[in-house]
Amino acid sequence: MSGTSLDGVDAVLAEIGPAGHLRLLHTHYLPYADALRAQLLALHTPQPDEIHLAALAANELARLYADAVKALLDGAAPARVRAIGCHGQTLRHRPGDGYTLQIGNAALLAELTGITVVADFRSRDIAAGGQGAPLVPAFHARALAHPDSHRVIANIGGIANITDLPVNGAVRGWDTGPGNMLLDAWIKRHSGAHYDRDGGWAASGTVHPGLLTALTQHAYLHMPPPKSAGREQFNLDWLDALLGHLNETIAPPDVQATLLEFTATSLADAVNHECVGAQELYVCGGGAHNGALMQRIRAHLPDVRVATTAALGIDPDWVEALAFAWLARQTLHQAPGNLPAVTGARGERILGAIYPA
C-alpha cells in the first residue's frame, strides 16, 4: 500500500485461511526518496509530457514495490505467496468524470518478483457507478466489527475516512475530508519536514477562528455520503486562496494548529451526525501517531471511546495494507470486494486486474 501521504510503501505478509481468518506474519516499510516523492506530487497536476513521466514513475514504483516484497519475504520462497495485492499510487481520483488512476506497473512487478499481482482495485467500482473509494470498509467489517458494540473505524492517512459498523444496520463508509495531507504540506513548506511529529508544531500554535470557519465551508464536507476525496479537493492552492481572502497575516504555527483542528472537527462531525449511537472509535493510519490530533478527536467525541486499532490487535500502521491483501484474495476467489452502500456502485463487483506470474 502506498497512499495519499506519499511517504512510502507499507508491505505486509498475511495468511488468510479458508474461512477468512487473518494472521499478520511480517511487515516492512520502505520510504520514498525525496526525488520520487516530488515527482509523484508534481504528477497530480497537469504538466508537459506527463504521460511519459507517469509511465517512468510507474516503472520506478514497480521496482520499489519489488524491493519491498524482497525485504518482506527475507529469504522465504516466493512460491509460497499466492499473490501480491498492490494498490498503486493514486495520481488522479475523478469518479465524477468516470475514472481513477493508480500507477505502479503491475506487469513489471509480477516480472520482477515471480509472483502473481492483483492491482487496479478501484476502476471496476467506478465503472459500476461508484466512487471507487473507500474500499477498506469491506475489510473493516470482516476483521474489526463487534456483534454487541457500535464501532467506527477511522483511517487517517493523507485523506481521512471512516467505516460505520453498527450492531444492526448496513455498513457505511466515506472520506470525511483531509487527514494528514494539508498538515504535511504546510510543515514541508515552512520547515522542510515531511510531517509534524506527534503534532508538536500544531500544538505550539493557536487555532484561528476565521480560518477554521473558512475551511469548514468547503462544499465537500456538506455533501451526503457516499463520497470520496483527494488532492483535487484539499491542497495548498485552495488553502492559499483562503488565506488570501482573509486579508491578514496568520503565523505559520497558527495555520498548522487550525489545519489540525480542521481534520479533527471534520472527522468528529461525520461521526456525530452520521454514526449516531457510536460507542467506540478506533483509529489507524499515520494520524494514529499524532498525539495532538488524537487529543482533539477525543475532545470532540466525549461520549465515544477513542483508541487506535492496536486495542483490537492490529497495529494501526498495517491495517490498510492488510485490507488490500484481503481484497486481492477476494479477487482470486471471484468474490466481491466493494460495498455498494459505501461506494454508491450499482451492486457488488469483483475488483482488480490479475497479472499472473
Q: How far apart are CA 264 and CA 272, in angstroms?
A: 12
Return the pLDDT at 20.
Answer: 74
Domain boundaries, the chain: 8-132+318-355, 145-312
CA gyration radius for the chain? 20
Q: How far apart are CA 199 and CA 288, in angstroms?
A: 11
Q: How far apart are CA 3 and CA 234, in angstroms?
A: 15
Give 357's contacts (C-beta < 8 A, 6+ positions apart): 110, 113, 114, 115, 116
Q: How far apart are CA 54 and CA 3, in angstroms?
A: 16
Q: Pairing state of beta strands 99-103 and 89-94?
A: antiparallel
Residue 214 has pLDDT above 90, yes or no: yes
Residue 216 has pLDDT above 80, yes or no: yes
Share of the chain above pLDDT 70, in %: 100
- For the chain, counts of helices (H) and of strands (E): 13, 12
Return the pLDDT at 86.
Answer: 98
Return the pLDDT at 247.
Answer: 86
Cell of 289: 501517531
- pLDDT grade, residue 333 (50/70/90)? very high
Return the pLDDT at 149.
Answer: 98
Q: How far apart are CA 203 and CA 293, in angstroms?
A: 9
Return the pLDDT at 331.
Answer: 98
pLDDT mean across residues, the chain: 96
pLDDT tens for each residue of 265-282: 999 999 999 999 999 999
Return the pLDDT at 78.
Answer: 76
Instruction: Report the top-level CATH class of 145-312.
Output: alpha beta
Q: In this structure, how many other beta carbons lie within 10 angstroms of the beta carbon of residue 191? A: 12
pTM, full prediction: 0.94
pLDDT tens for each residue of 153-188: 999 999 999 999 999 999 999 999 999 999 999 999
> CB–CB of 121/351 below 8 Å?
yes
Average pLDDT estimate for 82-106: 97
Domains 8-132+318-355 and 145-312 share a fold: yes
Average pLDDT estimate for 69-98: 92
Coil/strand/helix, residue 278 = coil
Cell of 180: 494528514
- pLDDT grade, residue 77 (50/70/90)? confident
Q: Which residue has 488512476 as its cell numbers?
A: 101
Residue with the bigger pLDDT between 65 and 21: it is 65
Average pLDDT estimate for 27-56: 96
CA 96 to chain centre: 19
Q: Pairing state of beta strands 117-119 and 84-85?
A: parallel
Give 307's contacts (C-beta < 8 A, 6+ positions apart): 280, 281, 282, 283
Coil/strand/helix, residue 341 = helix
Q: Which superfamily does CATH assign the domain made up of 8-132+318-355 to?
A: ATPase, nucleotide binding domain (3.30.420.40)
Return the pLDDT at 174.
Answer: 97
Q: How far apart are CA 242 and CA 119, in angstroms?
A: 37
Give the single-character DSSP code of 175. Answer: E
Average pLDDT estimate for 6-10: 95
Average pLDDT estimate for 75-100: 92
Return the pLDDT at 69.
Answer: 97
Return the pLDDT at 75.
Answer: 74
